Amino acid sequence: MKHILLIYYSQTGQLKQIAESFIRPIIENHSITIDMEELKPITLYPFPWPFGQFIDQFPEAVSLIPPALHPFQFDEGKKYDLIILAYTVWFLSPSPPITAFLKSAKGKMVLSETPVVTLIACRNMWLEAHEQVKQLIKQANAYILDNVVLTDRGSSLKTLATTPRWMLTGKRDAFWRIFPRAGIHNDDIIATQRFGKALLFSILNGDIQKTNPVLTGLKAATVDQRLIDSEKIARRSFLIWGKLFQLLGPQGHFLRKIAAIAYGLFLIIIIATVVPAMMIIRVLLKPWRQHAIDKERQYFESPSGSEDDRMEKFS
C-alpha cells in the first residue's frame, strides 16, 4: 500500500477545496492512503484583513521568518511515498505557515528523500515564491517531482482590484459589471482532478522516479512571461523595505502600523504604475528578447510544463 501526505494551509478555504479536488480520484480509488495535515498557526491571521495588519505581514513573509504552529498531527518517522505540498503566495513568498513547515525539524524529517508535488493557488504572481519553496525543499533533502499552479482567470489589472477587495473586505462577488468574482474559477477547481487521476495512474504503474515529472501534458503550470521582471523587482523592494520594517519593531508595533499604511499606499501606486509599465516594456522588447524569454518561461514552467497534449486522457 502506498502512502501520501497532503500538507496545506488555506485561510479562506479556497486552497483546501482545490487540494481536495486534486486528491479526490486518489481517495475514490481506495488503493492509496492519504493523510491530510492542515497547518495551524498559533496566532490566527484575521479575515477579512485590516489594511495595516495585511501590509504588516510582508516583512516576515519575504524574510521567510516562520510563525509558531500547533504541533503537527503526522508521524514524522513515517516514510511517505509522496508529499503534496499545497500552498498560497503571500507577498511573492510562500504563505508563512508553509515556510514554518518547511523550516521545521519535523517537516524536514518527513520530507527527507521524498518526492514532492507542489500545488499553488494564488492571484497570479507565484514565480518568486516558488523559487523560495524550491530552495527550502532542497534544504530538506527532498525533491520536486511536479508543480501544479492555479491562478485567477481575471486579468492582472482586474485582479489587482478583486483580490485586495476580497482580502480586505471579505467580498468576493463580481461587481460593477466589469470586475469578475475573485479567486480561482470553479471550473478550474473541478478540473484539478485531472492531476489526481494522472498521479494515481503513475503511482499504480510504478512510474514515480526521482527525476521524471508525471503531470506533464496537463497544462500544470503556465507562466505569464510579462510578470517575470515585475516579480523580481517587487521582491527586491519587499526585501529592502522589509528589513526597515523589522528595525522599527516586531509585528504589531505602533511604528510599524504607521509605516505599513504609508508603504501600503506607496505599494498601490507602484503596482498600478510600475507593473503595467514593466509589462508594456517587456512586450515592446519581445522581438529582440524572444529567445531569452522562452528560456525563462521554460525554466519557471518546469518540471510539469504548460503543454496540454494529455488533457483528454485524464479529463
Ligand X SMILES: Cc1cc2nc3c(=O)[nH]c(=O)nc-3n(C[C@H](O)[C@H](O)[C@H](O)COP(=O)(O)O)c2cc1C
Torsion angles phi and psi, residue 157, rounded to 5? -65, -45
Question: Cell digits for 153?
Answer: 482567470
Separation of alpha carbons 108 and 61, rounded Å: 19
CA-based radius of gyration for the chain: 19
Q: Which of 7, 19, 36, 89 binds ligand X (CB under 6 A)?
A: 89
The distance of closest approach from Cβ of residue 313 to ligand X in the complex, given in angstroms and rounded to an integer, is: 29
Binding mask 47-66 for ligand X (x = CB under 6 A): -------x--x---------
DSSP bridge pairs for 93? 90
Q: Which is nearer to ligand X, 123 or 197 (CB)?
A: 123
33 makes contact with ligand X (CB under 6 A):
no
Binding mask 105-124 for ligand X (x = CB under 6 A): ----------------xxxx
Q: Of residues 12-31, which lie at the interface with ligand X (CB under 6 A)?
A: 12, 14-15
Q: Which is nearer to ligand X, 54 or 80 (CB)?
A: 54
The distance of closest approach from Cβ of residue 101 to ligand X in the complex, given in angstroms and rounded to an integer, is: 14
222 makes contact with ligand X (CB under 6 A):
no
The distance of closest approach from Cβ of residue 54 to ligand X in the complex, given in angstroms and rounded to an integer, is: 5
Q: Which is nearer to ligand X, 123 or 256 (CB)?
A: 123
Stretch that binds ligand X, among 9-17, 31-39, 64-72, 139-147 (CB under 6 A): 9-17
Decide if 80 contacts 114 (C-beta within 8 A).
yes
Binding mask 132-171 for ligand X (x = CB under 6 A): -------------------------------x---x----
Q: Which of 4, 92, 145, 214 binds ligand X (CB under 6 A)?
A: 92
> Which of 275, 247, 269, 271 has its CA nearest to residue 259?
247
Stretch that binds ligand X, among 5-13, 168-176, 215-223, 298-306 (CB under 6 A): 5-13
10 makes contact with ligand X (CB under 6 A):
yes
> For binding to ligand X (CB under 6 A), which residues are involved?
10-12, 14-15, 54, 57, 88-92, 121-126, 163, 167
